[in-house]
């Protein structure tokens, strides 16, 4: 029971007494002489997360063969403390806006404002309106299409019209430089050797 106290009588048996409503948060037990407080939280040494599920999540990692019960308990407690800290930061943001309810935007803002939560930026991204997301997607698509169109135009020009990259390669060969020019491959190119190379 959350609000009960145990005291040992002269017989050594433990009896549970329910504190009266008028008593303070701590009292002195007559038999023991120790000061005890009323603890209303979860039992100490017990995690709120089910150990079997935590163990199953841990074993999802292919590198983990076995995990001890002590390790499962410590991971559960660390997870509880992390969630408590994360939600406290988000709740503080909600309190600033005079709200008692924590929304997704509070969690996302907490992730962006606190360096310790930076690793969650991919998991809890900032939200944006649908119109902004569609606009961003449209711009990315246009860039992708224009990029492929520009690459095709460069390839067509490079076949017979003096490509600037070809000119720089020719200059390097004329000057005796043995260092080849490095450029990124386009989507159409592959790493196969040229046709004019002979196999040894």
| HEC secondary structure over 55-74 | HHHHHCCCCCCCCCHHHHHH
What's the CA angle centered on 149, arms 143 and 151, to 5 degrees?
A: 100
Cα gap 167→75, rounded to integer Å: 61
Q: Give the E-state strand segments of the chain in sequence order.
A: 5-8, 14-17, 26-28, 35-37
Evaluate whether 106 touches 94 at the Cβ level (below 8 Å).
Answer: yes
**Mean pLDDT across the chain:** 73
Which parts of 18-135 are beta strand (E)?
26-28, 35-37
Q: What is d(CA 94, CA 103) in angstroms, rounded to the nearest whole number?
A: 8
All structural domains of the chain? 51-120 (1.10.20.10)
Backbone angles phi, psi at 116, to 5 degrees: -70, -15
The b-or-e profile of 80-97 (16+ CB within 10 A means b, else e) is eeeeeebeebbbebbeee
Mean pLDDT across 56-71: 92
What is the reported pTM? 0.47
Given this model, what pLDDT does residue 129 score? 87
Q: Residues with Cβ < 8 Å from 147, sequence gap 6 or more? A: none
Please tell me the distance from the alpha carbon of residue 8 to that of residue 125, in angstroms, as a whole number. Answer: 55
pLDDT average, residue stretch 12-20 = 53
Greatest CA separation for the chain: 107
Are 112 and 121 contacting, i.e. CB atoms less than 8 angstroms apart? yes
Condensed to tens digits (0 to 9), the pLDDT of residues 80-116 reads 999 999 999 999 999 999 999 999 999 999 999 999 9
Q: Is residue 47 very low, low, confident or very high in pLDDT (cuts 50, 70, 90)? A: confident
Q: What is the pLDDT of residue 189?
A: 58
Say whether pLDDT at 168 is over 80.
no
Listed residue (194, 165, 159) closest to 180, CA to CA = 165
How many residues are listed for the chain in this entry? 200
Cα distance between residue 97 and residue 91, in whole Å:
10
Quickly count: other Cβ atoms within 10 Å of residue 57's Cβ.
Answer: 13
Is the pLDDT at 194 greater than 70? The verdict is no
Q: What is residue 32's predicted lDDT score, i.e. its pLDDT?
A: 47
121-147 pLDDT, tens digit per residue, is 888 888 888 888 899 899 999 988 887
Percent of the chain with pLDDT over 90: 35
């Amino acid at each position: 029971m959350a609000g009960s106290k145990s005291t040992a009588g002269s017989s050594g048996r433990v009896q549970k007494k329910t504190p009266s409503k008028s008593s303070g948060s701590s009292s002195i037990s007559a038999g023991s002489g120790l000061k005890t407080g009323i603890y209303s939280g979860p039992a100490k040494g017990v995690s709120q997360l089910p150990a079997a599920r935590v163990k199953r999540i841990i074993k999802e990692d292919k590198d983990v063969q076995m995990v001890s019960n002590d390790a499962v308990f410590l991971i559960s407690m660390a997870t509880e403390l992390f969630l408590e800290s994360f939600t406290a930061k988000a709740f503080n943001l909600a309190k600033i806006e005079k709200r008692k309810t924590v929304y997704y935007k509070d969690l996302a803002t907490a992730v962006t404002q606190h360096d310790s939560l930076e690793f969650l930026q991919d998991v809890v991204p900032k939200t944006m309106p649908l119109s902004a997301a569609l606009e961003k997607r449209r711009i990315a698509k246009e860039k992708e299409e224009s990029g492929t169109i520009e690459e095709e135009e460069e390839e067509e020009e490079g076949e017979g019209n003096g490509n600037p990259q070809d000119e720089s390669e020719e200059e390097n060969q004329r000057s005796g430089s043995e260092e080849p020019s490095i450029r990124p491959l386009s989507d159409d190119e592959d790493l196969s050797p040229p046709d004019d190379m002979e196999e040894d």
